Structure 1
Amino acid sequence: MAGCAPCQPFSTYSQRYDTRSDGKWGLLYEFGRLARDIRPDIVTMENVPTVERHGVFKDFASELEGLGYQVWSDVVQCAQYGVPQRRRRMVLLASLHGPIRMIKPTHSKPRTVEQAIRRLPPVAAGERTPRDRLHVASSLTDKNLERIRASRPGGTWRDWPRHLVADCHKEDTGRTYPSVYGRMKWEEPAPTMTTQCYGYGNGRFGHPEQDRAITLREAAILQSFPRSYAFVEPRRSVQFSPIGRMIGNAVPVRLGRAIGRSILRHLSEVDSRLMPSG
């Protein structure tokens, strides 16, 4: 059984949740109830690293142990498993058949933004390519177009002329928030993809060279989706918000593959122990 309670209540990006009234907060308890009722051989979940600080996660792991599962959990760097992105996730694996854990990292060197998306055709802000309707970039206002032209890869809005700096960042309370309106660097993994990764002002989601935010296709590739993944049926329109949620909320595909390989390796070890000798 694989699942994941919504990560927003546990994320450092969002501290507005009232844990007493937000229904999402307690969904890990429902996950534990399902494990108790179904008793699957294997249970796995992933979430943001900060989930381990909360009692609901500790209660979930303790309930699994009380049901006879051997539980392993740790914070995993997705880049070590081939995801071209700096994304840390808490992964939990639990088995009724003995110790289980993640396989060792598959990549000693992280894949970079350049390796992932350099070969995609160029596209202007507000436009898309004819052969791939997901290779579409959100539009930019005239001021944001000035801002991205004044941005350097790996830099921040602090590099801009003062007339381009947003009013909120001129205040003392805003000066410590540089992680928006940034360009990615070709030679490094991408920052963590969020549900609004298609917006230039929502993080370091500016293209390293072109004057625009990354496209939906580029964001999906940085989440290690196959380049042909459709997300919507051919006759349905491509909309930024719903597809952005699918991309940003997804378990990175290559991390999912590593979790699957970990489970298969464990089950193979269980089978070898159960096989009669000779």
Structure 2
Amino acid sequence: MASVDLFAGPGGIDLADRAIGIEWDANAVATRVAAGLPTVHGDVRDYGPADFPEATRLTGGPPCQTFTVAGAGSGRTALDGIVSAARSMAARQRVSHVFEDDRTGLVLEPLRWALAAVDMGRPYETILLEQVQQVQQVWDEYALLLAAEGYHVATGVLRTEQYGVPQTRRRSVLLARLAGPVVLPAPTHRPYRKGVSQAEGDPGLLPWVSMGEVLDRPVPFEVISNYGTGGDPKNRGRRTSFEPAATVTGKVSRCRIVDLGGVEQPRFSHAEAGLLQSFPADYPWSGKDVAQQIGNACPPLLARVLHGALSATPKPASALLTAA
């Protein structure tokens, strides 16, 4: 089976799937090319399923800037309009809604592609979408609309540290497939909680992964975040190397790093920031705005388990009860 990835970025989702990625940003395209990933340099709005007739899987992570709490929030205020537009699309009606920020409407593109494929008589066998958690309302609406087209759908907010990513990052995901039921992947690692030891928690799960375990630094360190927490720029977040990183954003290279005595240390390199997103240490970051590429990417480890969930056959409830 072949896949097409919308808003493909530098390759977070595609490392697990080798999808043909559509990406408009020249810098992310440069990284993809250097990594050997199949790439179309263009705008997803200019393409559709007919342009990729061999693709049987659809994946995508639409731009999050207007939805994230770190942004101005025009996408969050437009959620009702997005849901209304999605319903019109599913009814095969013309959508006339105009959004304040052009990027907000891009969250509707995966639905356009999915419905177009259905109307062509070649529906995608699986669909994988991920975004910031503020988009959960949209994915929940998509679930209803895709179910009406014959899909089995699961949606929810996942914590990346529970899948081995050395970073606390919440992502809203949608998994859909035609062949049968699908469920969100079960966590493999314990959730991180401030002040709770790595050794504490469910013994059936692995401990979360700390920054110090994946970064080759000579001394323990503390990261002082480059952005405010809770919307207050005066409230700087702090994490030690014995903890997972906070959410990696496009401003990751601005984070200050000090040793435990307060002495300034080198800031994160691109390779280190990539490792915190679970990219390989030797990933060939290219072009400009590399920090932004990294911050916008889907962690490959998370993508891998999501692809696995779409490939797995969920056990019926009776089997689970018997196993217990």
Please tell me the TM-score bracket, short chain as reference: 0.5 to 0.7
TM-score (ref. length: structure 2): 0.58
- The one of 219, 228, 242 equivalent to 2:273 is 219
Is 1:188 the equivalent of 2:243? yes
Cα pair distance change 1:212/1:101, threshold 3 Å: same
- The one of 101, 108, 115 equivalent to 1:22 is 101
Structure with a larger share of its residues in strand: 2
Given that 1:184 and 1:208 are in contact with CA atoms closer than 8 Å, whether structure 2 keeps it comes out as no
Gap runs ≥5 in structure 2? 1-57, 79-98, 118-122, 190-205, 316-324
Structure 2 Cα separation of the partners of residues 61 and 175 of structure 1: 30
Aligned residue in 2 for 1:109: 207
Deviation, 1:73, is 0.6
Cα pair distance change 1:103/1:179, threshold 3 Å: same
Identity of aligned residues (%): 31
Deviation, 1:155, is 6.7
Aligned residue in 2 for 1:88: 170
Aligned residue in 2 for 1:255: 302
**Larger CA deviation: 88-97 vs 98-107:** 98-107
Aligned residue in 2 for 1:231: 285
Deviation, 1:250, is 0.6
Aligned residue in 2 for 1:32: 111
Q: Secondary structure at the match of 2:253?
A: coil
How do residues 115-264 of structure 1 correspond to structure 2 at under 5 angstroms? 115-117=213-215, 119-120=216-217, 153=222, 176-180=232-236, 183-200=238-255, 206=257, 208=259, 210-232=264-286, 239=288, 242-264=289-311
CA RMSD of aligned residues (A): 2.9
Structure 2 Cα separation of the partners of residues 226 and 62 of structure 1: 37
Larger Rg: 1
Given that 2:223 and 2:258 are in contact with CA atoms closer than 8 Å, whether structure 1 keeps it comes out as no
Aligned residue in 1 for 2:69: 12
Cα pair distance change 1:120/1:193, threshold 3 Å: same
Structure 2 Cα separation of the partners of residues 98 and 207 of structure 1: 51
Gap runs ≥5 in structure 1? 123-151, 158-168, 233-237, 270-278
Structure 2 Cα separation of the partners of residues 212 and 184 of structure 1: 16
Deviation, 1:22, is 1.5
Q: Secondary structure at the match of 1:51?
A: helix
Q: Secondary structure at the match of 1:153?
A: strand
Structure 2 Cα separation of the partners of residues 260 and 68 of structure 1: 20
Aligned residue in 2 for 1:66: 148
Q: Deviations over 1:158-216 (max 9, x none)?
A: xxxxxxxxxxx9xxxx9943444x5530110000000111013xxxx535565343221
Structure 2 Cα separation of the partners of residues 185 and 17 of structure 1: 33
Cα pair distance change 1:207/1:72, threshold 3 Å: farther
Structure 2 Cα separation of the partners of residues 207 and 263 of structure 1: 42
